[in-house]
Amino acid sequence: MPLTSRNCFGLRAAGQLQNLAFTGVGTPGLRPLPLAPSVTFSISPHRSVKTAFATMAKPKLHGRAFYESLGSPKYIVAPMVDQSEFAWRLLTRSFLPAELRTSILAYSPMLHAKMFAESPKYRAQHFEPLNTPLAMPQTPAEAQLQTLTEEDAYLDGNPKIDRPLFVQFCANDPQYLFQAAKVVQPYCDAVDLNLGCPQGIAKRGHYGAFLQEDWDTIYKLINTLHKELDIPVTAKFRILETREKTLEYAKMLLSAGASIITCHGRQREQKGHNTGLADWSVLRYLREQLPPETVIFANGNILQYDDIAQCLEQTKADGVMSAEGNLYDPTIFATPPPVGDEGREYWRGRDGKGGYRVDAVLRRYLDIIHQYVLSQDSPARAPLFLSSDSAIKPIEAEIAHEASNTNNKRPAEDAPDASCDGQAPPSKKQKKRDAKQEKKNAGKPERVTNPNLVAMQAHCFHLLRFLVKEHHDVRDALARSRAGDLDAYENVLRLTQEAVKKGLVAYETNPTVFEEVSAHVEGQTDGGLEQVNGVSAAKQAPEESSDEAVRRCKRPYWVCQPYVRPLPKEAIERGSMQLSKKELKKLAEKENEIKKNRAREDEKQADEAGVAPGGKIEAVPHSVQEEVKVSEGVSEAEKEGIVEVPNEGMVCG
């Protein structure tokens, strides 16, 4: 039977929580994660469980005063549906030194306010702040919160390891939002309103980005929480059609009572293959136009660690939020180690580029699931492989053997032998019947609902996206893994470690192969640089081509790295995206208008130059001009080095 967190509730209720102990500086008797000391967490001395849960007794701060009370975090893990759960937040923070982990502010996954307010089952499946048999009271009372002890804290909002934390809701009814927010307010630092979800389900449910035309409802949602909650309210939204309208939108959110606003620099229509680039200039405009005490988080275009500083510089935002970048690389907020201090978790190539190894990150992730979610010891693990280890020789031989058999046909399997009793082995039909009967006898497996276990497969596919393209055995094993089946995920880890080991040895044998792969992007190359319509990709603007971003971010498959989405124009050219009839008509009208304007401009220039109908004006380079005898009455254009030469009767292009 798959192991779930529910199977461990008896242990937790009995007080057997040794694996949930968190390492504190100078605190004896607290137990670190085995073979992963960097995953351990220090206890904040000024925040006990009681005071953190008894929020009604604390003064309510607002705006910048509230932000500074959190330590002014610069790094923010974005709210992601079913993806920013406790284990992933803990994993992301684990790559920073213990004293810096609270510099990462994390958001919960987006929760549905109405369902959270009305359904105890939905609450229990999506938010777990307390150990069983305790349950979140729907109307928490101060006296009840004061009775909670350190042992009562479980995962979400645990003041030792999961703060600062904002809990995000989608909603369109102020009362449902308030009821849901009241339940979680003892276990988080703020409640956030989702105004940025662009998905179809948000459109059908009339929430997220599809509320942005209904300013009255948005104002009521935020203002109700601002007036009634004991903790601050924040809001996350997308930019509108113009920067001026976006500014008025932001002002409305702030006037309603939002303490912090997060602006995603993309419009509602920018999603999927049409994602495109976020517009940081709009975020900078908000920063310049809003009062200095306004706290603004920037979201969008964060692919790597270096992008964070660039975003802070260009937008002047207070903090930077990462969503998809964090999913593909949970180490995105961690400073790379110095050269020579890589250890076994970080890899750096000959060109100086590197990143955390996927097997190291996956191992750390599984350790968190074992110890914090399931309250059990992690399996004993050998140290991660390094190419300097003595095991490199047999691995080299194995790789050479595989290479020699690459073009050979798969050998035919031996004919099945007769069984010991002389009977023929079971047929395929018989095996199928036996498997079906065995499955029937086993009964229906227990449905796993813990969000930390449900999210594992999606997280692993993000993390291993580039590795599974090369190693299909890892892909197949991961596809068969089910929520709660930790043995299956341990097998995925074992296969991943083997794949990384082979990659590291192959790199030591011939690094140029991987360096060429890292430099490669689709299309024709010239001297190692991509040529797009005759223009080097290195010279193209980011809004014109994604190739330079791919080249900048590309690493060998065993290193965590972002997924760079093609720009909408590129997606259309490659057939990944098709425009609707309405969009095609709009695009055709726009192109026709551009052509008409260009034609009118050409006719005007031709008329001024005295060119016959159908003629064209060309700019002659300066080197040609020197061969032309220029008369005394030269024009201003000629003085600047440009001579207009009409070609009568000739149409080009």
Distance separating alpha carbons of residues 132 and 135, to the nearest angstrom = 7
Closest CA to 145 of 13, 20, 57: 57
Residue pair 518/553 in contact by the 8 Å Cβ criterion = no
Residues with Cβ within 8 Å of 389's Cβ and at least 6 positions away in sequence, in order, are none
3-state secondary structure 495-526: HHHHHHHHHHHHHHHCHHHHHHHHHCCCCCEE
Q: Which of 8, 188, 197, 263 is catalytic?
A: 197
82: left (phi over 0), alpha (psi -120 to 50) or beta: left
Residues with Cβ within 8 Å of 392's Cβ and at least 6 positions away in sequence, in order, are 505, 508
| 555: helix, strand or coil | coil
Residue pair 383/489 in contact by the 8 Å Cβ criterion = no
Active site residue 652: no
| 180: helix, strand or coil | helix
Alpha helices in 510-635 (DSSP H): 511-519, 547-553, 568-573, 581-609, 622-625
DSSP 52-68: HH-GGGSPPP-HHHHHH
Closest CA to 328 of 487, 547, 563, 539: 563
Q: How many CB atoms lie within 10 A of CB 633?
A: 6
Spacing of C-alpha 54 from chain mean position: 33
Backbone dihedral angles phi then psi of residue 325, each to the nearest 5 degrees: -60, -40
Take residue 207 and report the two structure tokens written for it.
């929430």
**Neighbouring C-alpha atoms within 13 Å toward the C-beta of 373:** 29
| 299: helix, strand or coil | strand
Catalytic center residues: 197
